[in-house]
Amino acid sequence: MVEAERMRVSVIGTGYLGATTAACLSELGFEVLGLDVDEAKIDMLRSGRVPFFEPGLDELLTANLGTGRLSFTTSFAEAAEFADVHLICVGTPQRDESGAADLTYVQSAIERLAPHLTRPTVVVGRSTVPVGTAATLTARLHALAPVGEEAELGWSPEFLREGFGVEDTLRPNRIVIGTDSPRVEKAVRELWRQQVDDGVPFLVTDLQTAELVKVSANAFLATKISFINAMAEVSEAAGADVIQLAEALSYDDRIGGKFLGPGLGFGGGCLPKDIRAFMARATSSASSPRCPSCARWTRSTSAAARARSTSPGSSSAEASPDARSRCWAPRSSPTPTTSATLPRSTSPRPSPRWARE
């Protein structure tokens, strides 16, 4: 049983997400053990040095190492013995030219942790994974853990922005947990009790919805960037000012100004990778015989995206006519009408203040 008053946490993976999460949870008062297979990285963290730059993280790390609430290890057996809740925070890089997510590290974390779980335990994934991953990992966790189904898994996506990781962890704008287990929900509520008490929305969903939340957010932000870049071309052809156009749009509460600055497109560590993985997963899902129109739409959109990357002068790719009848849901669901707008590359323009805030 996970008891709130004695709950201890392991964070598996000490990259950007894991190190930030471990230090912030220590700051919230939890005893935290960070785990990584990279001994050099663990030695660096033990000495109070962060292997990347994130404002405020060095100070949190040093302070909480000093209190004794934060420590680091390379031993899965030690982590299993120590913690009541295990957070999976390993990377999911792009696997190959298909764009699919490489789940090697996530799978390895479960494979190496599970055999040491000899008492009821909560495991919570925070890594960004394709929809359906958590269900597969749950089955594997139950098969490998000596405690069997008493090792329960949930999924709680992260929403950290580079440069704001500490702020976004300590003061998130929402907390999502995918689970049907009261024990998992209770453990995650206890982790973020202070934030929930301060009014941060706490959403409980099924596993699949939780897995989709992060990639859906990234896809929407990429769509805004792609849209305003497409409008930059229209503005240029029409003799209009796209900066003023974007500002006018930003005052509409339904649209807002964030991610509405025209420029070269989007980059960073997550947006391109997660969208490629989303497209690869959608292609896989669309191959189902019950959804042939979705398969055709996804294939045409993926082909357009590939062509788009080698043809910078072309305009936004259009989805095939079958997009109007595609479905990723049961046939009883409403059928949306959409077209695909893909990333654009335009002349560099400075983003106005309202688009950066």
Per-residue pLDDT tens for 283-335? Answer: 776 545 444 544 444 454 445 444 444 444 433 333 333 333 333 333 333 33
Are 92 and 190 contained in the same domain? yes
Are 138 and 43 contained in the same domain? yes
CB atoms closer than 10 angstroms to residue 22: 32
Chosen domain end from 143, 172, 205: 205
Cα 131 to Cα 71, 227, 240, 267, 284, distances in angstroms: 32, 26, 41, 23, 11
Are 160 and 257 contained in the same domain? no
Query: Distance between CA atoms of 88 and 138, rounded to whole angstroms?
Result: 13
Residue 28, C-beta contacts closer than 8 angstroms, at least 6 positions apart: 170, 194
Residue 101 phi/psi, 5-degree rounding, is -75, 140
CB atoms closer than 10 angstroms to residue 46: 15
Query: Distance between CA atoms of 206 and 215, rounded to whole angstroms?
Result: 16
Q: Are the C-beta atoms of residues 282 and 215 closer than 8 Å to each other?
A: no
Can you tell me the mean pLDDT for 110-124?
97
Q: Are the C-beta atoms of residues 147 and 51 closer than 8 Å to each other?
A: no
Can you tell me the mean pLDDT for 106-127?
97
Chosen domain end from 182, 205, 228: 205
Catalytic, out of 89, 270, 291, 294: 270
Q: Supply the pLDDT for residue 104.
A: 93
Q: Supply the pLDDT for residue 353.
A: 46
Are 155 and 64 contained in the same domain? yes
145-149, 234-238, 270-274: segment of lowest average pLDDT? 270-274
Determine the 3-state secondary structure of 151 from DSSP.
strand
- Greater pLDDT, 87 or 345: 87
Residue 131 phi/psi, 5-degree rounding, is -60, 135
Token pair listed for 168: 């976004």
CATH number at residue 270: 1.10.1040.10
The residues pairing with 108 across neighbouring beta strands, listed in sequence order, are none
Can you tell me the mean pLDDT for 191-215?
96
Token pair listed for 163: 């440069």
Determine the 3-state secondary structure of 153 from DSSP.
strand
Are 340 and 272 contained in the same domain? yes
Query: Distance between CA atoms of 350 and 357, rounded to whole angstroms?
Result: 14
Query: Distance between CA atoms of 75 and 79, rounded to whole angstroms?
Result: 6
CATH number at residue 66: 3.40.50.720
pTM of the model: 0.77
- Quick check: is 270 catalytic? yes
Are 187 and 255 contained in the same domain? no
Q: Supply the pLDDT for residue 267.
A: 74
Tally the domains of the chain. 2
Are 75 and 181 contained in the same domain? yes
Are 314 and 194 contained in the same domain? no
Token pair listed for 50: 């962060």
What does the mean pLDDT of the chain come to?
A: 82
Can you tell me the mean pLDDT for 178-189?
97
Chosen domain end from 167, 184, 205: 205
Are 233 and 201 contained in the same domain? no
CB atoms closer than 10 angstroms to residue 252: 9
Q: Which of 219-228, 262-271, 291-300, 348-357 shows the highest mean pLDDT?
A: 219-228
Q: Which H or E element spans position 305?
A: helix 292-309
Parent domain of 218: 212-356
Are 168 and 298 contained in the same domain? no
CA angle (86, 92, 95) in 5-degree steps: 150
By C-alpha distance, which of 50, 40, 42 is closest to 20? Answer: 50
Are 48 and 157 contained in the same domain? yes
Determine the 3-state secondary structure of 213 from DSSP.
helix
Cα-only R_g, the chain: 22
Percent with pLDDT over 90 in the chain: 64
- Indicate whether 224 pLDDT > 60: yes
Query: Distance between CA atoms of 122 and 88, rounded to whole angstroms?
Result: 11
Q: What is the pLDDT of residues 4-31, one digit of tens each?
A: 456 899 999 999 999 999 999 999 999 9
Query: Distance between CA atoms of 200 and 183, rounded to whole angstroms?
Result: 20
Are 199 and 264 contained in the same domain? no
Give the pLDDT band (50/70/90) at residue 245.
very high
Q: Are the C-beta atoms of residues 117 and 147 closer than 8 Å to each other?
A: yes
